[in-house]
Chains A and B, each alone.
Chain A
């Protein structure tokens, strides 16, 4: 195996001062932000970003664009409502919170694995189509099913536990909870992308046929990637249901599923920071575009933003930033990104073979 050299010598202690600044800002954020900003503009993009992170992991490193990641997160949210307590009077088995959370995350991971097992035999755009079909089918299913999923209404009154004397739905503690989880998965994905499995997955993305010839199980790599993505999305789904306090079919609808895709694409799929950038941009637009245009036409705005990014900067805000960077600091930036920028990074796996 080869190792990717980490460039740690350029900064003192190997830490990029800009990154340090971001970390300090993120930790200090609730101290100067109002409750609304902490909760809606702070915690919410972190949750959306974590869900989109699972898609970035699949698409960026595995070449599999799955539209069903929101379905996975929504499934975890539903499990929390069904096994835990809710105020609707349907299901709500009253399990202890820790057991509910564990089952929800594992259940989501299993669903994700199942989706992976269905779609991993196909490649490229087929994956988009199949996962989209799964997402829509799941949406119609929960909307029609009243025994388990309480149909159109869904569940309400879902509360996070009160632990260590802290009510975790208060803006500040909830913000730190989401920040900790988002940071954990961010670093997990960063670390994982350099692990043997991560490198194998990227090899599968770049050339499945060659990888197969090396005796590596392509299918298994993809399905395992879906399992990890399911854990990320499932955990975010638990946070999402605590954030909303309710869950209904709308959360697993096509709009939401596409929103996650928009977030991941707008942010950029080349690095795990991308989805968080995308999520912040999305939530800022969602909250403040109302002042500029009619609230009703939000989807047009977000669709246009998405279209512009796809048309003019296929690697998202991240790519935009890097291109600016390379223009400003040409020599060094080229050494850093030149090689990567030339390679078509998140092209769907397998498409060169079909041409």
Chain B
């Protein structure tokens, strides 16, 4: 057996080497042999960026899911429905008022309220009975999907990208150098970069909230020992409702953000539920940093799968999940 210290050194070395190789692949002009094996550099960089931004979107959805689970051990399988409902509500409000940002805020609030309702009406009534809670959320998601289909029909909705966020940005990344010597730079949609930025901001915000505020401290205490937290005089139900509101609100928020980057249509609820499930299984249930790592991995896997082996793309995601489960059943950042 090697000492843990040495093992960690090797791991860090591996990550550094991988990062260096990736950076080189992004910024260097590709030599012939690399183009022959991987195809055009533009495809690669675009896929990479798509993967990272999709990972950001998945993080937005999955962080709420994992937050709720981490504190309350509630698996909310209606999380995908909340994503979709958030998207629809945001769309309606944005259409009516003409302001995308207002739609975003209303979607967040509306879904946060629905989360509180769910917590009070369902989860509080069957505390400790995890399986029943899970089954109830399945029932709710069936009904919600059907009712949303009734209200918004099977049409695909597409948001107008908010003012000041459309268009493409030119990245300081050279895709090819023309024979004349002029470099060609890669362009990328502004909005997608914004999605990534929002995900990073939300991630940092969550981290600060959990680690630097009094309520965050209560939440972390609740994750470790619910009974002791209640015994020390904290109103646990208030904390639970708050966390549920944040977790659900993030799903609604992601519904608008994701609905603008891609689109909203029936079936998206299942897609994002699956994404959240896989992300938290890979990253570790209940860990926000795990959700970030998982989301990045799954987003990248999905986009690279789509670009380089279209028919077997799903299998790649699946293989990552199986691999993680085989080596670390609790997930990358999970603890038992």
**Interfacial residues, chain A to chain B (CB-CB below 8 A):** 65, 118-119, 121-122, 124-126, 128-130, 132-134, 136-137, 140-141, 144-147, 254, 258, 261-262, 265, 296-300, 302-304, 306-307, 310-311, 314, 346-348, 351, 354-355
Contacts and interface: CB of A to CB of B under 8 A. Distances in A.
A141 B278 contact: no
Contact of B329 (A121, A134, A296, A355): A121
Interface string B34-49: 0000000000000000
B105 interface: no
B281 A303 contact: no
A119 B324 CA distance: 12
Contacts of B278: 133
B329 A122 contact: yes
Interface in B111-131: 128-131
A354 B75 CA distance: 15
Contact of A351 (B130, B149, B321): B130
Contact of B310 (A118, A144, A254): A144
For the complex, would chain A's binding face be called helix, strand, loop or mixed by DSSP majority? helix
Interface centre among A145, A254, A298, by most chain B C-beta atoms within 10 angstroms, is A254
Contacts of B311: 144-147
B315 A125 contact: no
Contact of A118 (B139, B313, B322): B322
A140 B139 contact: no
17 contacts: A118-B326, A121-B329, A125-B131, A128-B77, A137-B317, A141-B315, A144-B311, A144-B312, A261-B135, A297-B146, A297-B150, A300-B146, A300-B147, A304-B139, A307-B140, A310-B139, A354-B73
Nearest to A65: B131
A26 B252 CA distance: 50
Contact of B134 (A125, A136, A299): A125
Q: Nearest 10 pairs between A and B by C-beta?
A: A303-B142, A307-B139, A303-B143, A299-B146, A140-B314, A137-B318, A136-B274, A300-B146, A306-B139, A121-B329
Interface string B43-84: 000000000000000000000000000000101010000000
Contacts of A258: 138, 142
A302 to B, nearest CB: 7
B307 to A, nearest CB: 14
Nearest to A132: B277
A133 B281 contact: yes
A303 B147 CA distance: 11
Interface string B293-336: 00000000000000000111111011001100110010000000
A134 B147 contact: no
Most chain B beta-carbon neighbours within 10 Å: one of A118, A122, A303? A303
A121 B314 contact: no
Given A128-B75, A129-B75, A307-B139, A122 B325 contact: yes
Given A125-B134, A136-B274, A130 B147 contact: no
Contacts of A304: 139, 143
B202 interface: no
A97 B277 CA distance: 39
Contacts of B329: 121-122
A116 to B, nearest CB: 12
Contacts, number: 114
B292 interface: no
B136 interface: yes
A118 B146 contact: no
B132 interface: yes
A298 B313 CA distance: 33
Q: Which of A118, A133, A145, A351 has the most CB of B within 10 A?
A: A133
B285 interface: yes
Given A137-B314, A137-B321, 19 more contacts: A122-B325, A125-B130, A125-B134, A128-B134, A129-B281, A132-B77, A145-B311, A145-B312, A258-B142, A261-B138, A297-B146, A297-B150, A300-B143, A302-B142, A303-B139, A303-B142, A306-B135, A306-B138, A306-B142
A119 B325 CA distance: 8
Contacts of A310: 132, 135-136, 139
Contacts of B321: 130, 133, 137
B131 A133 contact: no
B146 A121 contact: no
Contacts of A347: 129, 131
B200 interface: no
B142 to A, nearest CB: 3
B145 interface: yes
Contacts of A296: 149-150
A311 B130 contact: no
A306 B130 CA distance: 17
Nearest to B279: A133
A133 B270 CA distance: 10
Contacts of A300: 142-143, 146-147, 150
A254 B277 contact: no
A346 B131 CA distance: 9
B143 A307 contact: yes
Contacts of A126: 281, 285
Given A299-B146, A302-B142, A307 B136 contact: yes
Contacts of B325: 118-119, 121-122, 130
A134 B318 contact: yes
Nearest to B138: A258
Contact of A348 (B130, B147, B281): B130
A133 B277 contact: yes
Contact of A299 (B143, B274, B314): B143
B328 to A, nearest CB: 10
A136 B322 CA distance: 14
A89 B312 CA distance: 22
B270 A136 contact: yes
Given A121-B329, A130-B281, A314-B132, A303 B146 contact: yes
Contacts of B147: 300
A141 B51 CA distance: 19
Contacts of A351: 130-131
